[in-house]
Amino acid sequence: MKVLISGGGGFVASHLTELLLAEGHEVIAVDNFITGDRRNLEAVRDRPKFQLIEHDVSLPREYPAVDAVFHMASPASPVGYRTWPIETMLVNSQGTYHLLEHARKCGAKFLVASTSEAYGDPKVHPQTEDYWGNVNPVGVRACYDESKRYGEAMTMEYHRSLDTDTRIIRIFNTYGPRNQPDDGRVVPNFCMRALEGAPITVYGDGSQTRSFCFVSDLVEGIRRAMFTEGTAGEVINLGNPSEYTMLEFARFVNDLAGNKSEIVFEPLPESRKDDPMLRRPDISKAQRLLGWEPVVPPEEGLKRTLDWFRENALGTPASV
């Protein structure tokens, strides 16, 4: 198949690009690199079945006809969407619209990457797809949460009213090689501090929980969500249901890095006051519809991620 992947130069979509090329598909990546990195595409840049279009997908343009459109473009980390708040709102609204239009016109399948943030600070735990969420519509995270929710509504309307073959995935925290070391997310943050032997900061008492999915598991789930029969019109959580408190997770990363960094507690900064307390996906729908669940054990995923940070952010060979 010929597929278009918006945000192809980003963390998740560059892994998806590699997976789909390895399966023999033709991939057109579209990216303006506001939060992505050209180095993420180094391994595929010269492949005959790969093409890069540098473009802001919030703006209209003609694309080649394709069989499937993966709309993955959007700043994703708090650092990313606070640096680019308007661009984030546009890519999840206008960007979703332009790519849906393209999919509709060429009769392509469409998948949009939404987020667990669509559940806000959830009152239902673990989060099931039928939970509507608890989102502050004017808070510091709203540029991300609310624009993703708008993108979901638009995607569902294309399915309902225009019969476009769409699906929505809600991605929960994902980590792995090509995470940006300074994007403020938990895994890069803890890994970098632990590798540097610097104090690891836990906000509050560290009892907030998160669930972390290794990127190879996630992209396999994305592939199945697009290509499995019966997914049109569906909303599907993709994430790893193993749940850690932040304190447990800081200790876990610290032990794996082997540097015995100090763990320090700080009050939650103003910029993070809408952070959810609990986050864990209910993945029974993905298990049932896609036959998918994460298979990479956290020790293995974190070791691979720590190795990647050693080599790419600290400049130390992975064997050290």
Ligand X SMILES: NC(=O)c1ccc[n+]([C@@H]2O[C@H](COP(=O)([O-])OP(=O)(O)OC[C@H]3O[C@@H](n4cnc5c(N)ncnc54)[C@H](O)[C@@H]3O)[C@@H](O)[C@H]2O)c1
CB of 258 to ligand X, least distance (A): 25
Measured from the CB atom, the residue of 80 and 298 that comes closer to ligand X is: 80
CB of 29 to ligand X, least distance (A): 9
CB of 294 to ligand X, least distance (A): 13
CB of 115 to ligand X, least distance (A): 4
Among 96, 115, 189, 216, binds ligand X (CB under 6 A): 115
Place of tokens 């993955």: 72
- The single residue of 63, 144, 158, 175 carrying the catalytic annotation is 144
What is the DSSP code string of 30-75?
EE--SS--GGGGTTTTT-TTEEEEE--TTS-------SEEEE--S-
CB of 34 to ligand X, least distance (A): 5
CA distance 132 to 121: 11
CA distance 276 to 227: 32
Dihedral over Cα of 9, 13, 16, 20: its sign: negative
Among 78, 80, 276, 281, binds ligand X (CB under 6 A): 80
Query: Which part of the chain contacts ligand X (CB under 6 A), choosing from 66-74, 97-105, 133-141, 241-249?
Result: 66-74
Measured from the CB atom, the residue of 5 and 108 that comes closer to ligand X is: 5
CA distance 33 to 55: 9
Q: Which 17-36 residues touch ligand X, going by CB under 6 A?
A: 30-36
Among 75, 177, 298, 301, binds ligand X (CB under 6 A): 75
Say whether residue 9 binds ligand X (CB under 6 A): yes
Say whether residue 97 binds ligand X (CB under 6 A): no
The H-assigned helical ranges of 123-259 are: 142-162, 186-196, 215-227, 246-257
Residues that bind ligand X (rule: CB under 6 A) add up to a total of 30
> 135, 142 in Cβ contact below 8 A?
yes
Say whether residue 173 binds ligand X (CB under 6 A): yes
Among 96, 174, 209, 240, binds ligand X (CB under 6 A): 174
Measured from the CB atom, the residue of 141 and 193 that comes closer to ligand X is: 141
Measured from the CB atom, the residue of 195 and 218 that comes closer to ligand X is: 218
CB of 57 to ligand X, least distance (A): 4
Say whether residue 10 binds ligand X (CB under 6 A): yes
Amino acid at 192: M
Work out the end-to-end distance of the chain between its first and last CA atoms, rounded to an integer number of angstroms: 41
> In the annotation, is 158 catalytic?
no
> 276, 119 in Cβ contact below 8 A?
yes
CA distance 61 to 249: 44
What is the DSSP code string of 274-312?
T--S---B--HHHHHHH-----S-HHHHHHHHHHHHHHH
Q: Residue 20's closest CA among 70, 62, 88? A: 70
Among 3, 4, 5, 11, binds ligand X (CB under 6 A): 11
Which spans of this chain sit near ligand X (rule: CB under 6 A)?
Answer: 6-7, 9-13, 30-36, 56-58, 72-76, 80, 91, 95, 113, 115, 171, 173-174
Active-site residue list: 144
